[in-house]
Amino acid sequence: MSHLPDHFRQRLNSRLVITNFIIPATLLYLIHRFGGILLAQYRLRRLPLINGTPLFGSTKKAKQNFQLNARGLLKDGFTKTDDARVVILSPESVNEIRNDNRFSFTHLIAQECLCYIPAFRNFNPHEGLNDMAKDVLLKRLTPSLSLVTRDMSEEANLAFQEHWTDNTEWHEVDAKATVVEIIARLSSRVFLGPELCRNPEWLRITIDYTMTVFHGIMALKKWPSFLHRIVWRFVPEVRRVNEQIAEAVRLIRPVIDKKMAQGKILPDGSKPAHLDVIQWASEVADGRRYDPTLLQLGFSMASMHNTTDLVTQILYDLSAHPSYIDPLRAEIETVLTEEGMTKSALARLKLMDSFMKESQRIKPSESLGMRRVLVEDVTLSNGVFLPQGTQIGIPTTPTTDVGNETESFDGYRFLNMVGDPSKEKTRHFVSTSPDHLGFGHGKHACPGRFFASHEVKIILCHALTKYDFKLAVPTRQPTSLALGWALIAEPGVRLLVKRRSNRSVNKAKLY
Ligand code: HEM
């Protein structure tokens, strides 16, 4: 970790944290942690002094400081909460904890997302949805990426036509609002198939569900916890979650029934040809009971806004550094002209891969990653004792071991590592390492990152090849909003876009 500033390393090394307030939820957390995440209530057990740094004086001030300055608190080496202890470990601890079952991801989600309330049963470990989702992603979706590439690209074509239009004159679009619609289309095509991926009712649910759950959890947390199991039925925001689940069941159930019926009647015993999550889930279930609608909603939460945030950030970074646009277009043109839109072609887009990773390096989706809760007492190898119930996390920034130049944007950074055997395993967008925690690391590293990478590359191929785009207000670079641990690409930013001629890569090569 030689790249970390001394004061940062010292403070982190001494780890620590604790606080006394209800942490605000943030949308992006919801997304990462399969469905979820929210900030929880942390109970004060004791207030430590970290490296002699005084703790905050008042609860309100501490809460405000966490909401607005969580990143700064990390650099200082501590923060405070209310309902549990949150210890910030140094990045050196990543390898020690990454596969240790005593550091539980599942219990953290369950605890923070009130999994004992029926409306939030997505987060209940006993529903087994997280395990199912991981199996579908790692055993079926990732190995099938080559089979869904053309479908996704075809959907990207239709979605861009609708949201960025074929207008060859400059016109304004809302960057994030259009990107989320495009991603909802591509993802739903793979998760549910062509029937629902263009259904406006489903698209609204898959986009809005995360926020609905977020509002529901926050509304219920305003009540004392001993009343949660009674009052949830009467809290409008929680009722809305249940209504949305019912709407999703109404839309998805007939599609599932139809596919299942088709799947069962294959005469030759071969596998049905559906390439979607409905089919894959039924294959990997292996006797496990699961609710397919909740699984779909879990996929929506885990994937939609995280990927949207990354693509939006990349568009902002391209607008800030337009000199990358021509080299990226040239790379796309060379590769797609040679082999069309295929999985292996996307893997050859090395500058694009490097640019994506650099965007994520500079602005990961959260400033504290690998958050876990301890299910047993643990003493770390450096002697630090962590009692059961402690929450931990590891800062995600600065994340890359690149000497002193950690802050400046360099889209070639990871491309320049090609040929360096020591970086070969970590330079790819989908690689995880202690130095780059954008997707976590270890046994809970994001299992959707291969799909996300594929999807983002397809979207960028369409955006760069078919459109010119720039910030509508060029004098003001979009910021990222730090809300609690979440780092969010600024919403509401307008882009000017116009359709280019299709001379360079013709339609047939894109989908
Ligand atoms: C750019 C987009 C994405 C980002 C930045 C992202 C980031 C993350 C992060 C940071 C974690 C937690 C890792 C940890 O704590 O160690 C995570 C977990 C997870 N992500 Fe993603 N993710 C993205 C896209 C997706 C997509 C597209 C899917 C599904 C299709 C997905 C499904 C999951 C699941 C199921 C988990 C839980 C893993 C477990 O329980 O072990 N993610 N993601």
Q: Is the pLDDT of residue 296 over 70?
A: yes
Both structure tokens of 271: 């596998």
What is the per-residue pLDDT for 123? 92
Centre of ligand 1 to C-alpha 192, Å, is 19
Give the residue whose CA is nearest to atom 30 of ligand 1.
448
The whole-number pLDDT of residue 45 equals: 27
At residue 399, does pLDDT exceed 80? no
Say yes or no to pLDDT of 223 above 90: yes
**Which residues line ligand 1 at a C-beta cut-off of 6 Å?**
32-34, 105, 130, 133-134, 137, 299, 302-303, 306-307, 310, 365, 369-370, 438-440, 444-449, 451-452
**Token match 């299709």: residue?**
502
- Given the CA of residue 441, which atom of ligand 1 is nearest to it? 16
- What's the gap in Å between 375 CA and the centre of ligand 1? 22
**According to the model, what pLDDT value does residue 279 have?**
86
Most confident of 5-9, 81-85, 378-382: 378-382
| Residue having the nearest C-alpha atom to atom 29 of ligand 1 | 448
- Highest mean pLDDT among 64-73, 197-206, 404-413 belongs to 197-206
User: What is the CA(166)–ligand 1 centre distance, in A?
Assistant: 33
pLDDT in tens, 166-196: 999 999 999 999 999 999 999 999 999 988 9
Cα–ligand 1 centroid distance for 226 (angstroms): 31
Q: Is the pLDDT at 266 greater than 90, yes or no?
A: no
| Whole-number average pLDDT of the chain | 82
**Axis crossing angle, helix 292-320 with helix 449-466, rounded to the nearest 10:** 50
Residue found by looking up tokens 């979009």 in the block: 478
Quote the pLDDT of residue 398. 58
Nearest residue by C-alpha to atom 2 in ligand 1:
307
pLDDT value of residue 21: 25
User: 116: pLDDT confidence band, cut at 50, 70 and 90?
Assistant: very high
Phi, psi for 47 (deg, rounded to 5): -110, 110
370: confidence class by pLDDT, cuts 50, 70, 90: very high
Instruction: Give pLDDT, residue 69.
Output: 60
pLDDT at 47: 26
Both tokens assigned to 67 = 């909401």
Secondary-structure percent of the chain, ordered helix, strand, coil, rounded to 5: 55, 10, 35
Between residues 403 and 475, the one the model is more confident about: 475
C-alpha span between 497 and 463 (Å, rounded): 10
pLDDT at 128: 78
> Is residue 446 a known part of a binding site?
yes
Residue 270: CB partners within 8 Å, gap ≥ 6? none
| Structure-block tokens of residue 503 | 């001379």
Alpha carbon nearest to ligand 1 atom 24, residue: 303
Distances (CA, A) of 397 to 20, 90, 311, 435: 25, 11, 19, 9
The pLDDT score that the predictor gives to residue 407 is 72
pLDDT digit string, tens, across residues 82-114:
455 689 998 889 999 999 999 999 999 998 899
Q: At what angle do helices 292-320 and 236-264 cross, to 10 degrees?
A: 110
pLDDT at site 503: 63
| Global pTM value | 0.86
Q: In 3-state terms, what secondary structure has residue 395?
A: strand
Pocket test residue of 439, 443, 450, 457 for ligand 1, highest count of atoms within 8 A of CB: 439
Peptide bond preceding 421 in cis form (omega within 30 of 0): no
Atom of ligand 1 nearest to the CA of 452: 27
User: Within a 13 Å sphere around the CA of 502, how many CA atoms are in the beta-carbon half?
Assistant: 9
Residue 7 alpha carbon to ligand 1 centre in Å:
31
What atom in ligand 1 is closest to the CA of residue 141?
30
Question: Could you report the per-residue pLDDT of 138-167, keeping only the tens digit for each?
Answer: 999 999 999 999 999 999 999 999 999 999
| Predicted confidence (pLDDT) per residue in 441-462, tens digit | 999 999 999 999 999 999 999 9
pLDDT at 195: 87
310 C-alpha to ligand 1 centroid (Å):
13
In this predicted model, what pLDDT tens digit does every residue of 56-85 receive, in sequence order? 333 455 555 555 566 555 654 445 444 556
pLDDT at 288: 87
> CA-based Rg of the chain, rounded to a whole angstrom?
23
Q: What does the pLDDT read at residue 283?
A: 87
Contact 375, 49 (CB under 8 A): no
